[in-house]
Chains A and B, each alone.
Chain A
């Protein structure tokens, strides 16, 4: 399935008398027709392009412009009114890497990255295990599949509240562990609490997408492996994983893009302005709520670029197939 699908040019309309014309005129006619087709394509696409420009292009451009707007404000000592002046500049970006604001931004970048790596790895492993279990035929399989879906179906804010109860001082987590950990206070435990809650919530997502991939693997392949005397472990590494990889990579990519913009879980479970769990999204929100729209937009733009780079790496290096070109063999 390596051949890219090409748009076949429509059969040229034959006009009477065309055949009698000279070859150069024919060529010119073909060019004109091609141009006509392109024009028609552009015309037909223009509503979509316009819509995209309005709902994607404009917000991105507006955010970019806002992020380059540096606002100075002062209070008029007589009336007490705020006076603002703004100019274009890159201060909002450079502030993200120096001084107090820099510490805070880099900390948020670090948290965003560590959350993504830790949770991403955990959900991938657990999700694959879930899928392997769910793909087996056993009694009550439907029930297991439905049960696994429940965490995914619960809105994140609600699950954050549920976990907040679990992680409260006199909550279930401390009861089971027989500890008195203050989970939601600053520190590593708050970070861990978010990772646990997010893994619980999103591993089923990976599990289901991988399950769909698993069910596409023909039974004959496994049969052949069995005939050749391959061990279960070897079968998994040499057959299951390579064949399920396209589905897995796309699922993990989606998950990671979600993780990079994580907001609601740390915000509700631990709270805003907590250093140990502040992500880039939370930081941008906090700057915005304090009316510093420029820095907020700058942080959002950096996050946008960060996500774009990660997505690009996934598509290029791991061959994530997100637009349905089909499975590409990469050696």
Chain B
């Protein structure tokens, strides 16, 4: 080939590169441009909308949407099912927002994502006066707010409960569920003195290095009277209370109160252990009630356990709040329909149905005192007590970084890699860095 023909070949390549480069330039505005000031959005346009939510494991969602669609034939809502895992859902939502796509109208967000989505301007600020937030449990409303403004509507909530082996406690002569950690330890010692309790683990929660550890660590700190992040959004894990909380977890492992393998437990591993009769006490979400009561042979503890609020250092403890909120995507069309839809979808009547058919804990306080429901779901009043003392996890924009900082250090402490004081000091430093991006 002569030089000139190489030149032509290079020219052809260059055309390719220019095409590619042009595409790069087109992509410019996609990656993190400055978000403009966002006031309360205008909710305009009516027509078809979508509800983007995690995989519907209850199989009841479509039926509900069908009822809306029957009444609103011109504003039909379609279900966009996302992955079952929270990480997968968040990734889809973020991709949707980054490409400014109008594919998702109504977003079903985990309670811990509100700050991130609001701060990035991915969801609309909602008119507070158009929702019955006065009837909702206050702590659930807090999870939907960012900088004192409402960005989502509480849809369902959740709190951890103490599942305990009532049969064994009765046999050991313990009449009431423990309210404090010391009472729990004493009760456990008595159960372990029984022949059937000899090989049992005393207590487990979710201690694997994932979101569950953040939940359990926060609960331990709160149950000792402390906080992870104070009301101004400043991390305060360098307090004596936080130390007492983390020590409860660390000592639990070193003293053998928690089984060694509990450090690998997520929700399901712990549930298997509890259902196999390997645990006396188990911190778990309410969904375990129905599953552990199954009499098809999958559970050895059906009918043998009770639930109580989580124990604390010197009185009843405090749970972390779970649950989901509904928000409207900034980039969606037909926002007037969307607003109307979430008003309907989150109303008390639907919340009640959700509790009955899908065991989703409602955000309306009044539903918990319903006698008929209490009979059907005996854990309901305990759950309400749990919710009354529950606290939201840190509301931080960079929540992923905050929860990583908590997990890293809490995990290092419970696996004996770091002393408690150092773990908390490191956590405090890292959380300060994460929350102080100004």
Interface residues of A (CB under 8 A from B): 31, 34-35, 38-39, 42, 45-46, 49-50, 52-54, 57-58, 61-62, 65-66, 69, 71, 73-75, 77, 79-86, 168-170, 180, 182, 184-186, 271, 273-274, 289-291, 293
**What 11 new A-B contacts, CB under 8 Å, besides A80-B118, A80-B149?**
A53-B16, A53-B17, A54-B20, A57-B16, A58-B23, A58-B24, A73-B32, A82-B35, A84-B35, A86-B31, A273-B407
| Chain A residues in 8 Å Cβ range of B398 | 290
Query: Is A289 within 8 A of B400, CB to CB?
Result: yes
- A85 (CB) vs chain B CBs: closest residue: B34
Query: Is B35 within 8 A of A83, CB to CB?
Result: yes
Secondary structure at chain B's binding surface: helix, strand, loop or mixed?
A: helix
Query: Is A38 within 8 A of B9, CB to CB?
Result: yes
Task: Select B32's contact among A50, A71, A185, A289, beta carbons within 8 Å.
Answer: A71
Query: Is A271 within 8 A of B209, CB to CB?
Result: yes
Query: Is A169 within 8 A of B261, CB to CB?
Result: yes
| Chain B residues in 8 Å Cβ range of A52 | 16
Query: Is B263 within 8 A of A46, CB to CB?
Result: no
| Chain B residues in 8 Å Cβ range of A39 | 5, 8
A39 to B8, CA, bound (A): 7
Query: Which residues of B in the span 396-438 have a Cβ within 8 Å of any Cβ on A?
Result: 397-398, 400-401, 404, 407-408, 411, 415, 417, 437-438
| Chain A residues in 8 Å Cβ range of B34 | 83-85
Sample 21 A-B pairs with CB under 8 A, ordered by A number.
A34-B2, A34-B5, A35-B4, A38-B2, A38-B9, A57-B20, A73-B437, A75-B438, A79-B37, A79-B38, A80-B119, A83-B35, A84-B33, A169-B260, A169-B264, A170-B261, A184-B264, A185-B264, A185-B415, A289-B90, A290-B401
A209 to B38, CA, bound (A): 59
Q: Return the 9 tightest CB-CB contacts between A and B, nearest first.
A: A53-B16, A80-B147, A169-B261, A38-B5, A58-B20, A290-B400, A82-B119, A84-B32, A57-B20
Q: From A49, A83, A274, A291, name the one whose CB has the most chain B CB atoms within 10 angstroms.
A: A291
| Chain B residues in 8 Å Cβ range of A271 | 208-210
Interface residues of B (CB under 8 A from A): 1-2, 4-5, 8-9, 12-13, 15-17, 19-21, 23-24, 27, 31-35, 37-38, 87, 90-91, 94, 115, 118-121, 146-147, 149, 208-210, 260-261, 263-264, 269, 397-398, 400-401, 404, 407-408, 411, 415, 417, 437-438
Query: Is B209 within 8 A of A273, CB to CB?
Result: yes
A39 to B11, CA, bound (A): 11
How many A-B contacts if CB must be within 8 Å?
A: 139
| Chain B residues in 8 Å Cβ range of A77 | 438
A168 to B118, CA, bound (A): 39
A20 to B4, CA, bound (A): 28
Query: Is A75 within 8 A of B32, CB to CB?
Result: no
Query: Is B5 within 8 A of A293, CB to CB?
Result: no
A4 to B60, CA, bound (A): 67
- A180 (CB) vs chain B CBs: closest residue: B260
Query: Is A180 within 8 A of B208, CB to CB?
Result: no
Chain A proximity of B5: nearest CB distance (Å)? 4
| Chain A residues in 8 Å Cβ range of B33 | 84
Chain A proximity of B356: nearest CB distance (Å)? 34
| Chain A residues in 8 Å Cβ range of B87 | 289
A86 to B31, CA, bound (A): 10
| Chain A residues in 8 Å Cβ range of B15 | 46, 50
A49 to B438, CA, bound (A): 46
| Chain A residues in 8 Å Cβ range of B208 | 184, 271
Chain B proximity of A10: nearest CB distance (Å)? 15
Chain B proximity of A102: nearest CB distance (Å)? 15
A66 to B32, CA, bound (A): 11
Chain A proximity of B267: nearest CB distance (Å)? 14
- A71 (CB) vs chain B CBs: closest residue: B32
Secondary structure at chain A's binding surface: helix, strand, loop or mixed?
A: mixed
Query: Is A53 within 8 A of B19, CB to CB?
Result: yes
Query: Is B269 within 8 A of A168, CB to CB?
Result: yes
A185 to B417, CA, bound (A): 12
| Chain B residues in 8 Å Cβ range of A168 | 264, 269
A80 to B8, CA, bound (A): 54
Q: From B91, B120, B261, B269, name the one whose CB has the most chain A CB atoms within 10 angstroms.
A: B261
Chain A proximity of B50: nearest CB distance (Å)? 23
Query: Is B5 within 8 A of A35, CB to CB?
Result: yes
A218 to B367, CA, bound (A): 81
Task: Select A54's contact among B19, B121, B400, beta carbons within 8 Å.
Answer: B19
A33 to B260, CA, bound (A): 80
Query: Is A82 within 8 A of B397, CB to CB?
Result: yes
Chain B proximity of A126: nearest CB distance (Å)? 29
A58 to B34, CA, bound (A): 25
Query: Is B20 within 8 A of A53, CB to CB?
Result: yes
A31 to B5, CA, bound (A): 10
A259 to B5, CA, bound (A): 40
Task: Select A61's contact among B21, B37, B415, beta carbons within 8 Å.
Answer: B21
Query: Is B12 within 8 A of A45, CB to CB?
Result: yes
| Chain A residues in 8 Å Cβ range of B437 | 73-75
Query: Is A50 within 8 A of B9, CB to CB?
Result: no
- A35 (CB) vs chain B CBs: closest residue: B5
Chain B proximity of A62: nearest CB distance (Å)? 5
A157 to B8, CA, bound (A): 47
The answer to whether A42 and B90 touch (CB under 8 A), given A34-B2, A80-B146, A290-B398, is: no
| Chain B residues in 8 Å Cβ range of A71 | 32
Query: Is A82 within 8 A of B261, CB to CB?
Result: no
Chain B proximity of A40: nearest CB distance (Å)? 11
- B24 (CB) vs chain A CBs: closest residue: A62
| Chain A residues in 8 Å Cβ range of B411 | 186
Query: Is A75 within 8 A of B17, CB to CB?
Result: no
A69 to B33, CA, bound (A): 12
| Chain A residues in 8 Å Cβ range of B397 | 75, 80, 82
The answer to whether A46 and B404 touch (CB under 8 A), given A84-B32, A169-B264, is: no
Query: Is A182 within 8 A of B5, CB to CB?
Result: no
Chain A proximity of B393: nearest CB distance (Å)? 16
Query: Is A79 within 8 A of B147, CB to CB?
Result: yes
| Chain B residues in 8 Å Cβ range of A273 | 209, 404, 407-408
A31 to B119, CA, bound (A): 65
| Chain B residues in 8 Å Cβ range of A53 | 13, 16-17, 19-20
Query: Is A182 within 8 A of B261, CB to CB?
Result: yes
Chain B proximity of A44: nearest CB distance (Å)? 11
Query: Is B24 within 8 A of A86, CB to CB?
Result: no
Query: Is B438 within 8 A of A74, CB to CB?
Result: yes
A50 to B34, CA, bound (A): 33
| Chain B residues in 8 Å Cβ range of A186 | 209, 411, 415, 417
| Chain B residues in 8 Å Cβ range of A274 | 209
A4 to B13, CA, bound (A): 26
